[in-house]
Chains A and B, each alone.
Chain A
């Protein structure tokens, strides 16, 4: 089973159409294996991306370089996944 240890979900707030363009460029970088939960469309809407652990540095550097603001929505996707698995096991047992 694929694991998501260290993967984070970032919420990005673009402040201009230019920053949206930059995020759309990010979307095309397939080697980063980003999972866009909310795609970049206009500055009024946030962009949520699940970033694999291995791509975190590159993505943060990209956002920092272009002065794009973001916050961390989920610190460790696998952590929540483990809680979900535990919940399912206990429900099945019940």
Chain B
């Protein structure tokens, strides 16, 4: 018999432990949660998505992913807590219930499993994938510079050893291509939310260019409402804006691709902290981080539900 009730969400876990917890969630909430494999990583680890659905064909859906940059451990931990939150509160929380009665949610808890394992075993500060290229000593590509959105432009590097190396071509990383293929095949994704950590930002397109997207006003309003909701719990302050205006120009990023693909509600979260711990955020901050992030996520998801397009 499997149960998720003993899992410690307030601790950092190995990939194996996270995957087991995902199995347990799917078993415990079997009518609501299922685990899908959308591909495998460069080193042949499965890429698992949790699907939350109350049934019905061709339903609109929300995409969530976490931890594309391996070392941002609080994001993978936040995603797993979020999965448990969604599953356990369907049927009791009116907002989650109404959301899942209308739409599906897909949640990729560990977007870059090779990098995650590498950050656990070899280099805690690892950020990239683990793909190898002939003739180069340096390994890996920054998977958030590898999307087909201004690929090769400013804010990404063509140097293989750089931490922001963009890769040889767009979608060269199987971890990225698997998501792109899944979203294209699904065809009815209405929101694309990606969770990163460090520096407390909530961003919308664009990053590959410093111009405002067509839906700027709405995205800014939705983003600010989400940030306010997030801040209301512990007072954590978030800055909201386009990637280019809030942080810097960065090409080949995921939400630029998703927005240009037609997914209007494309947002990227950068969770705690402001520098005191960097990517080594103490485990006792996982649950507060997840709790506040949930309020922001929920605010955006409610807007998506109430504003079909």
Contacts and interface: CB of A to CB of B under 8 A. Distances in A.
A42 B155 CA distance: 13
A45 B280 CA distance: 22
Interface in A9-28: 9, 11
Given A9-B275, A35-B163, A84-B124, 6 more contacts: A1-B121, A35-B125, A50-B278, A73-B278, A80-B278, A91-B12
Q: Main secondary structure on chain B at its contact with chain A?
A: loop
A37 B282 contact: no
Interface size class of A (residues with CB under 8 A): 20 to 34
B10 to A, nearest CB: 8
A80 B125 contact: no
A30 B284 CA distance: 35
A41 interface: yes
Given A74-B277, A94-B8, A1 B123 contact: yes
Interface of A: 1-2, 4, 9, 11, 30, 35-42, 45-46, 48, 50, 73-74, 77, 80-81, 83-84, 87-88, 91, 94
Nearest to B122: A1
Interface of B: 8, 11-12, 121-125, 155, 159, 161-163, 198-199, 247-249, 275-280, 282-283
A38 B197 CA distance: 12
Contacts of B275: 9, 11, 37, 46, 48, 73-74
